[in-house]
Amino acid sequence: MPVPLVRAVVAVLALPPLAAAAEPLSRAEVAKLAKPATALVEVKGAGFGSSFCVHPSGLFVTNEHVVSTLPPDGAVTLVLDPGLETQKTLKARVVRADKEADLALLRADGEHKLPALAVGSDEGLGELTELIAFGFPFGVALAKPGEYPTVTVNVVNVSSLRTDADRKLHRIQLDSTLNPGNSGGPVVDRHGKVMGVVVGGIRGAGINVAVPARHLARFLARPQLAFTPPVVSNNSRHELSVFQVDAAAVAPGGDLELELVLATPGAERRFPMAGHNGRYTVRAAPFPPPKADAGVRVEVRFPDGTVAAEAEDRAFKVGADTVKLGEVRTLRLGARAVAVLGTGKTVEGPLSDPGALTVLLGGRPVELKLAGAAEVRVVPAADQNRVGCTVIARAGGKEVGRLEQLVYVEGTVRATLEALRDGKFHKPLPAAAPATYLKSVSSKGDYIGQGKSYSYEGAELKVDGSAALVTVNVDGWNVQFAPPRGGALKVGEYDGAKRYPFNDDSPGLSYVGHGRGSNQVGGKFVVWELEVKDGKIAKLAIDFIYRSEITGPPLYGMLRYNSTLE
């Protein structure tokens, strides 16, 4: 089966080259320019904010705090021209966020040609400079029930330029009454250029602040890469495929140069991509060609034991199907053999010439007879189930952005949140680098997580305890895992978990925080990896399903701490 094209979009955002000074626009002309580019942001279950388009393809800027809490599907709604006959709504997703700068970048689903605002330079700003702010104060409170409000336009003046510890401009103080809901809206000058992004203020005091354009420009300077991975089948992994990147570059500094890097254990291959009219392509095999004499690792199970060795990759027939040993994951022997292939397909029927396998034992070829064997399991090599794909973008010889993503062979079984949602615990694959994170999803109706998704990484997590009790603290949440009373956690399944510390002879599980907890708990967790040094947790990998009051909608998640597993 041919591998589909890999498609990615690169949107490089930065300051446009400054043209010769032009006459200022009238206030009405500025409003006519900026209103169509300003959108209402609706986050289901969390509230409203403002945003503005910075690229016609559908990229919008808002505050990070406006989209810090997302629904399980991760989508927000953007409303353009609200309250007008031309009103339209778009679904969008957060593609980048900077909590410190309080900025977030959203991408609207689909293809668009939208009115966008250019980012200007705040170098000439001074006290009393007149600016114009756009947004949606109080969200939908100013509209009729069931409708969206039209955009609000405020003339504001700079009342102070607030600096940081290095005496660099940090915030622009404005002297106008902006309100909750204005957050994320643009503040533009009389040339229609964005000078800042409304971020907050003191309610009722007529004091508001905006993130200056210089911070916005830095936030946008890095390219935004949207990558759709290829579908790689077991049989096509070594075939040449076309990798494609469409680049929309609006930044100065020279044409973009793109490079594709494909990495498997022990091998890294680099491919410069040829570009024409913003489209870059290269032909490459997702996986390097196998060595001519490469064998496959097998485990042959007999009633009295198992033989593990490297075997010749031979072809044979199962019923009417011809398969190669390297394509198989498990082969159950008998009068009617059953083979499960790497693609997930199952074939069965009489096995032609079961005979023997030529295997290497002690470095010497040996004929291993399969008579009496119950099952042959083929162990995939480390580089057979995934390849690391990296797209690197450079401008003027300098790297301006990259995207890294693992691409898996079709049929590879992985530990995912989606699998946990369906009640399936799959052993995680080895991680490319030590992993530390907590990711959890609260199903609709779950009291603890309130139907939202949560994701924390690295130093955000504080993991304490030992094999007697693991405790995780992050962002006001406290999560605990415990063995049955008097025992110690070890690698394995822990079903029938009850609320810790009232679990007695059952495993213990607790997920509380933000004023919410459960009287009773029903759950299950699996410890995939656990290493304790000097009485403290050194490595940990746990997947879990938690039900408040035993039968409530599930809250499920994945915990990793310095883990060697994904």
Is 40 part of any domain? Answer: yes
- Residues 335, 480: one domain? no
Co-location of 444 and 493 in the same domain: yes
Nearest to 225 by CA among 199, 196, 245: 245
Domain count, the chain: 4
pLDDT digits (tens, 9 = 90+) for 157-174: 999 998 888 888 999 999
Label residue 418 exposed, middle or buried (CB < 10 Å: 0-12, 13-18, 19+).
exposed
Q: Are residues 421 and 503 in the same domain?
A: yes
Domain assignment present for residue 561? The answer is yes
Q: Same structural domain for residues 465 and 327?
A: no
**398 and 314 share a domain?**
no
Which tokens hold the place of 50? Answer: 């403002």
**Of the residues 194, 221, 248, the one at which a domain ends:** 221
Instruction: Give residue 52's pLDDT.
Output: 96
The percent of residues above 90 in pLDDT, for the chain, comes to 48
Closest residue by Cα to residue 185 from 396, 37, 345, 387: 37
What domain range is 90 assigned to? 25-221
Tokens matching residue 297: 């690792």
Q: Which residues of the chain have pLDDT under 70?
A: 1-21, 201-206, 224, 248-254, 266, 291-294, 353-355, 362-363, 380-384
Q: Are residues 522 and 468 in the same domain?
A: yes
Convert 119-141 to b/e letters by CB count within 10 Å (16 or more is b).
bbebeebeeebebbbbbbbebbe
Q: State whether residue 383 is helix, strand or coil.
A: coil
Whether the CB-CB separation of 321 and 347 falls below 8 Å is answered with: yes
Written as six digits, the tokens of 257 are 């140069």
- Cα separation, 125 vs 193, in Å, equals 12
For residues 270 and 397, state if they share a domain.
yes
Domain assignment present for 14: no
Q: Is residue 10 part of a domain?
A: no
For residue 2, being part of any structural domain is answered with no
Verify that 66 and 203 share a domain, yes or no: yes
Structure confidence at residue 489 (pLDDT) = 95
- pLDDT at site 11: 45
- Give a yes or no: residue 1 inside a domain: no
The 10s digit of each residue's pLDDT in 57-112 is: 898 999 999 998 888 788 899 999 999 999 999 999 998 888 889 999 998 988 88
Q: Cα–Cα distance between 455 and 49 in angstroms, integer?
A: 22
pLDDT score of 227: 79
On whether both 389 and 423 belong to a single domain, the answer is no
Q: How far apart are the C-alpha atoms of 389 and 403, rounded to whole Å?
A: 8
Is beta strand 508-513 parallel, antiparallel or unpaired with respect to 492-499? Answer: parallel
Residue 483 maps to a domain:
yes
Q: Are residues 512 and 404 in the same domain?
A: no
Helices and strands in the chain, H and E counts: 3, 41
pLDDT digits (tens, 9 = 90+) for 422-431: 999 998 988 8
Domain contains 9: no
Instruction: Say yes or no: 369 and 237 in one domain.
Output: no
Q: Which pLDDT value is given to residue 370?
A: 80
Residues 187 and 237 in one domain: no
Give all strands (DSSP E) within 254-385, no chain letters.
256-264, 267-272, 274-276, 279-284, 296-302, 305-311, 315-318, 321-324, 328-332, 337-341, 346-349, 356-361, 364-369, 375-379
CATH number, domain of 274, equals 2.60.40.10
Task: Give the pLDDT score at 433.
Answer: 79
